[in-house]
Amino acid sequence: MILAVLVALGLIVADHRHHHLGTLRATLAVMVYPLQVLADLPVRLARNAQGRLADERMLRDQNEALRRENLVLNARLQQLHALESENMRLRDLLGSSFRIGERVLIAEILAVDLDPGRRQVVLNKGSSSGVFVGQPVLDANAVMGQVVRTNPVSSTVLLITDSEHALPVEVNRNGLRSIARGTGVAQDLELLHIPKNADVRVGDLLVTSGMGGRFPRGYPVARVTGVRHDPDDPFTVVTAEPTARLDRSREVLLVWTLSPESPGGASGEALGDASAGAGASGSGGPDGEER
Amino acid sequence: MSEILARGTWLVLLTLVTALFLTILPLPPMAEDLRPQWVAMTLIFWALALPERVGVFWAFGVGLVLDVATGTLLGHHALGLSVVAYVAVELHPRVRIFSLWQQALFVWILLILERLLALWVLGATGQPMPSLTYWGATFAGLLLWPWLQVVLRDLARRAGAV
C-alpha cells in the first residue's frame, strides 16, 4: 500500500514536472484505444442509421445546397489565388519573400468522454500518420486547439477553451495584439491585458497572430462578445466566443505549416516538405484523406 | 482449483474493463456530473469479495489505465484507487456482515475519499478546480451500490469465483 502510494506520487511528479513518461503513456493508450473505438460505436451507428433513413428529397436538397456552396467557394478561391499572387509580387518588391506551404490531414473526433474538468478530445489519427505534439487543429470555420499527446494510433487535443490554454491573437480590424485564454467553460474565451483605451468593439473578429510560432497566421479564432470597463480593474475585460464549433464538429483538420518565423536552416527542408504535400494533393485519391 | 482461480481472474478483468468502458461512454452534458465512479465501485466490490486476490496492486494497475483513458496525469486515479482498495481489503471482515444500506454508506465514504485524493492531486499540480457538482458522482454511487453489489455477486457466484 505504502509502495503503491509512493509510486503513484512519483508518477504524478514525473508526469507533471518532467514529462518523462511518454512511452509508458503511449503504450497504455494503444491498449485503451480499442475501448475508445467501442465507446464511439453507438454514436457512429446512430449516424449511419440517420444516413440510411434520410429520404431522397432531403438528400437531393442537401446535394443542391452543397453544390451551390461549392460554387461560391470556388469563385472565392479564384479570387484568393489572384490575391495570393499579388501579395507575393508585392512582397517581392519589398524584398521579403516567403511562402506559406501547408499540408492538411482530415481526422475524426472519437465520441469519448475524458476528464470533465478539462476540455480535451481524442482524434483517430496518431503519430503513425505524422501527427506531432504542438500541431494546430482546425475545423472548417476556425482554430480548435492543439495536439498535446500522441501515440501511434490516436492523439489527444487540448481545445482553446481549456483553462490552461492560451494563444496569441490579433484583432482583424486593426491588428491589435493580445492573448486569448480559455476559461474552462464551453464557448468562452477572455483576452488578457487589454489597456483601457484600446480599440476593441463587440463583434470584432480575432485571428491568430502567429506570434507564438505554433499556430499559422491569419486563421479566425473567435468573435468578441463583450467589452466591460471595471473601475477597479487596470485592464478592459474582453470576452469572446470561439467561431469553431468546438462541441459539434466531428471532422477536424490537422495542419502542417511552414511558419515565416522559422529559422533559415529549417525552412528549406520544410519547403521541400510543403511541396511534397502539394504533390500529394494531386494523388490524394477519391477518399479525400489527404489534401 | 487453479481453473476456478483463473475463471475468477477473468471475471474480475471483464467487469473492470466494462467499468472502464462505462466511464468513457459519451453522455449528455447534464448527466455527465452524475456519472458514477464505475471503476472505483467495481474495485471496491472485488476487494470486499476476494480480498486475498484483488488488492492494492490491481487498484494501481487499473488506476493507471483509467488515467490514460481519461487523459489525466499518470498516477492521478492510481493514487486514490490504491488507498481505497487498501482500506476495503483491511476492513472486509467487518463490512461483509453489514446490511446492504450500511454497506452502501461505507462505500460512499470510500468514494468520497477517492474523489478527495483526486482533488488534492488537482490542487497540488495547479490544475483548474472543478465546481461543486464534482461530488455529485459520489451520491450517484451511493444510490447505485446496492444494485451493483447484487448484480456482481450474482455474476461471481455463477462463475464460481466466490
Mean pLDDT of B113-120: 91
In total, the C-beta contacts within 8 angstroms joining chain A to chain B are 112
Pairing type for strands A155-159 and A120-123 reads: antiparallel
B17, B20, B76 member nearest A12 (Cβ): B76
Closest-approach residue (CA) in chain B for A27: B68
Q: Write down the pLDDT at residue B116.
A: 92
In 3D space, the residue among A290, A15, A9, A289 whose CA is nearest the CA of residue A148 turns out to be A15
Domain boundaries, chain A: 2-53, 166-242
Complete domains list, chain B, with CATH? 2-159 (1.10.1760)
B interface test, pick of A2, A3, A11 with most B CB neighbours within 10 Å: A11
In tens, the pLDDT along A76-92 reads 888 888 888 787 777 77
Indicate yes or no: CB of B32 within 8 angstroms of CB of A112: no
Q: Which residue in the block uniquely carries the three cell numbers 467561431?
A: A243
Does the pLDDT value for residue B161 go beyond 70?
Answer: no
Instruction: For residues A29 and A34, give the distance between their C-alpha atoms in angstroms, rounded to a whole number.
Output: 9
Q: Write down the pLDDT at residue B40.
A: 93
Mean pLDDT of B72-100: 89
A11, A12, A39 member nearest B21 (Cβ): A39
Cα angle A148-A150-A154, degrees, rounded to a multiple of 5: 120
Q: Write down the pLDDT at residue B28.
A: 77
Rg for chain A, CA atoms, rounded: 22
Closest-approach residue (CA) in chain B for A10: B75
User: CA neighbours within 13 Å on the CB side: how many for A126?
Assistant: 15
Indicate yes or no: CB of A16 within 8 angstroms of CB of B70: no
Indicate yes or no: CB of A28 within 8 angstroms of CB of B68: yes
Q: What is the pLDDT confidence band of residue A152, given thresholds at 50, 70 and 90?
A: confident
Long-range contact set of residues A35-38: C-beta below 8 Å, sequence gap at least 24? A35/B17, A35/B20, A35/B21, A35/B24, A35/B69, A36/A110, A36/A112, A36/A122, A36/A154, A36/B24, A36/B69, A37/A110, A37/A124, A38/B21
Indicate yes or no: CB of B64 within 8 angstroms of CB of A38: no
CA A36 to chain centre: 21
Indicate yes or no: CB of B78 within 8 angstroms of CB of A4: yes
| Assembly ipTM | 0.73
In tens, the pLDDT along A18-73 reads 766 777 778 888 888 888 888 888 888 888 887 778 778 888 888 999 999 998 88
Instruction: For residues A233 and A194, give the distance between their C-alpha atoms in angstroms, rounded to a whole number.
Output: 11
Indicate yes or no: CB of A4 within 8 angstroms of CB of B56: yes
A11, A43, A116 member nearest B32 (Cβ): A116
Query: In A, which residues are within 8 Å of B86 by CB distance?
Result: 1, 4
In tens, the pLDDT along B49-61 reads 888 888 888 898 8
Distance from CA of A117 to the nearest CA of B (A): 6
Indicate yes or no: CB of B73 within 8 angstroms of CB of A12: yes
Stated pTM of the model: 0.73
The superfamily in CATH containing domain A166-242 is Rod shape-determining protein MreC, domain 2 (2.40.10.350)
